[in-house]
Chains A and B, each alone.
Chain A
Amino acid sequence: MNTPKNINLLFAFLSGLILLFIVGPLIGMMLDTPLSDIYETGKEKEVTDSIVLTLGASFLGTLFFAIGAIPFAYLLARKEFRFKRLISGIIDIPVVIPHSAAGIALLGFVSRDSVLGKAADSMGFSFVGHPIGITTAMAFVSLPYLINAARNGFESVPVRLEKAALNLGASSFKMFFSISLPLAWRSILSGLIMMFARGMSEFGAVVIIAYHPLTTPVMIFERFGAFGLKYAQPVALIFIAISLMVFIVLRWLSGKNVHA
């Protein structure tokens, strides 16, 4: 019979394999890419422009959609209403469908022939092939991360704290901004980071809405398709490094915020 020690050893071994599976390809790519290639690629304007576009589009999309997503998450956490389970299911759809299919669906919604597309046309821009289209595609596939995290955050705020605030004279708005939002902030920030990270790494939906201007995931695909693995690796490495840095900094900031 297995003793706990044996089980721990087995589990540690399996965990090691999984960790290796995650880290192995990344380390392999790092070892396989000469530093000089990375340096030269990093100097290309096309690459830096693409990285700025990718981070910027995801960041702005996260901020813009948070304005609606956070109150939506609060409603889901606090109110009971008809079709609530159905609506909760709908929110998760972008996560479970193929992202290229999501892109096709979204394209139908924002193309020049659609109502939204015509409205955009009248304002002098088009979603298709435009940074706003990229932002929309990124937000479409990454919104569930924010909504679900924020909903969990609001659910963890005791209702009696909100009741206490109301009893102390706060309006519903004041209660939301002074009690519910600050107390759920850790989860919301986590959701914002996840949405941002997921958005900037999106390829499938973005490539259908806007092949150009090139986001970095699309650029990696393009270079791989046109010139091969060796040419795509430096861009991929630079983008992974920047993504990790952004992710670590945001996580650190959110951690600091919690203990403040």
Chain B
Amino acid sequence: MLELKNINLSFGEFSIFDINLQLDKGDYFVLLGPSGAGKSVVLELIAGILSPNSGQLFLNREDITRKRIQERSVGLVFQDFALFPHLNVFQNIAYSLKIKRWKKERIAERVAELANQMDIAHLLQRNTRDLSGGEKQRVALARTLALSPELLLLDEPLASLDIQLKKELRSQLRKLHKMGQTIVHVTHDFEEAILLADKIAIFNQGKIVQQGLKAQVFSQPKSEFVAHFIGVKNYFLVSKTEENTLEIEGKIKLRCKKEISKRATIQAVMIHSGDISLNRISESQAEHTENVFSGTLVDVYPAFRGYELLIDIGMPLVVNISHKQFLQMEFAEGSRLECTISAENIQIIE
């Protein structure tokens, strides 16, 4: 449905390089990356607000690279909503319909339909300056959907909302997606990507560093940057030394399952921070058994469900434990700990 081919754009000190993307009708595509990575620029390119220096954009196989912004059938919801402050909610939603010279009755009908869909029917005569963040977001969505764009572009749509509103809006976006709306969603939050995306492209410094189906990207991050960005805390580049054994930075030897170690192209390993078991030990007890590493607790951070411990085992290892376990084991910075990594929990990246 949408295809970006070798798109390049430079302005000022900022550039995006060789962007290639392909979306099918009905996709929920998330562009994920840190601030300033170039995600929003790609949205503005698709919308037609910016033009590329080189490369092509196709929408339904039609070359839209130089097509006017008004004729693209692409709706963009801006990060800060960009509601028109001198117009009320009704007038904001009706803006594009008035431009298309719809009749008054038809405009009123369409606005009412959208307002019901977005649950903002009671706000139609309100001034947009008096709305909460969540309400503004719904009005912005309704306004963009008024002309039923083929492609909906969302720039950090949940960034300024509190947890409850995020949840509500996520469900609204899922609903839209289920109704067949093709969506491109820009975010820096990997949890949003997990919860909403079919496909993901990871951006860094103006380039796409990895893209594909969500499951693929999350299970096979191609680089340390991608791994860390999608929330993987323990991602290590490895080299194979002998049968069943992988070496991390020449320091740590990890034993893995036989059938895995036969593969020739192992690049890295990923260990989920919740899959490492932890015990307290004294200095004398430290043993060098298979995949058991002794280390020192460097730092403790409260996490969503319990705590996150940073342990130095010759390399930094992040381990998640429950609140209960944390209290039972009475950890303190500098404690000596024993980390056990089961061979089954070592995820191989090829």
In Å, the complex CA distance between A160 and B96 comes to: 16
A77: Cβ under 8 A from any B Cβ: no
Q: Are B47 and A169 in contact (CB under 8 A)?
A: no
Q: Most chain-A Cβ atoms within 10 A of its Cβ — which of B44, B74, B85, B143?
A: B85
B147 touches A169 (CB 8 A): yes
Q: Is A174 located at the chain interface by the 8 A CB criterion?
A: yes
B69 on the A face (CB < 8 A): yes
Interface residue from B47, B80, B99 paired with A170 (Cβ < 8 Å): B99
* Complex Cα gap A170–B147 (Å): 13
A17 to chain B, nearest CB (A): 41
Q: Are B84 and A166 in contact (CB under 8 A)?
A: no
Q: Which residues of B contact A170 (CB under 8 A)?
A: 70, 95-96, 99
Interface string of A158-188 (1 = CB under 8 A from B): 1011011111111100100011001100000
| Interface-centre pick from A169, A174, A182 (highest chain B CB count, 10 A) | A169
With both chains docked as a complex, state the minimum distance between the C-beta of A44 and any C-beta of chain B, in angstroms.
Answer: 46
Cβ B96 vs Cβ A168 within 8 A? yes
B78 contacts the other chain (CB 8 A): yes
What's the A-B contact tally at a CB cutoff of 8 Å?
53
| Bound form: Cα–Cα A178–B85 in Å | 12
Establish whether residues A182 and B86, one from each chain, have CB atoms under 8 Å apart when the complex forms: yes
Which residue of B80, B85, B96 is within 8 Å of A169 (Cβ)?
B96
Question: Provided the pairs A163-B49, A182-B86, A183-B86 are in contact, do residues A168 and B80 lie with their beta carbons within 8 angstroms?
Answer: no
Is B100 in contact with A161, judged by CB distance below 8 angstroms?
no
Contact at B99–A167, with CB atoms within 8 Å? no
Asked if B82 and A163 sit within 8 Å, CB to CB, the answer is: yes
**Nearest-neighbor residue (CB-CB) of B49 within chain A:** A163
Q: How far is the CA of A178 from the CA of B86 in the complex (A)?
A: 10
CB of B206 within 8 A of chain A?
Answer: no
Using a CB–CB cutoff of 8 Å, the interface residues on chain A facing chain B are 158, 160-161, 163-171, 174, 178-179, 182-183
Between A and B, 10 residue pairs with Cβ closer than 8 Å are A161-B82, A163-B49, A165-B84, A165-B95, A166-B49, A166-B70, A167-B49, A167-B74, A168-B99, A174-B99
